[in-house]
Amino acid sequence: MLGVTDDMRIAREEIFGPILPIFPYRDIDDAINYVNARPRPLALYYFGNDDPDQRKVLDRTTSGNVTIMHVAQDDLPFGGVGASGMGKYHGIEGFRTLSHPKGILVQGRWNATRLLYAPFGKRAEALLDFFLR
């Protein structure tokens, strides 16, 4: 969509459809300032071949992924930051985000750490004497 202004709904809400609002800019700094003046986007698409400008965009903005068609890459984490998105999913990052691991430690019957529990007896004193010589 051409001629989009900041007061239009399409400029204020995330778009989950085949619509792309176009915002013109004079130089890359204007584009970066525009992005940074708004809530962090779910994704930021960089269309260009200028490596210094690309580096500026990557270094000076915060967003979800920055690419073209990142959602189609199974092993690339996908998700937003802040109010945009719930984290990362796809690949191993998705497994970590959507899993709730539970650590379980079972002490064996013969456990040397019991020697460190109070009250300390002659065995603990002998062990300390041995190590502190």
The helix (H) or strand (E) run that includes residue 93 is: helix 91-98
42's tokens: 């779910």
Residue-level pLDDT at 83: 62
Q: List the chain domain ranges.
A: 9-98
Residue-level pLDDT at 28: 94
**CA atoms of 39 and 59, how far apart (whole Å):** 17
Fold of 9-98: Aldehyde Dehydrogenase; Chain A, domain 2 (3.40.309)
The residue type at 128: L
pLDDT band of residue 85 (cuts 50, 70, 90) is low
| Model confidence pLDDT, tens digit, residues 37-80 | 988 887 788 888 888 998 999 999 988 777 755 556 666 666 66
Return the axis-axis angle of helices 51-60 and 28-36, rounded to nearest 10°.
Answer: 20
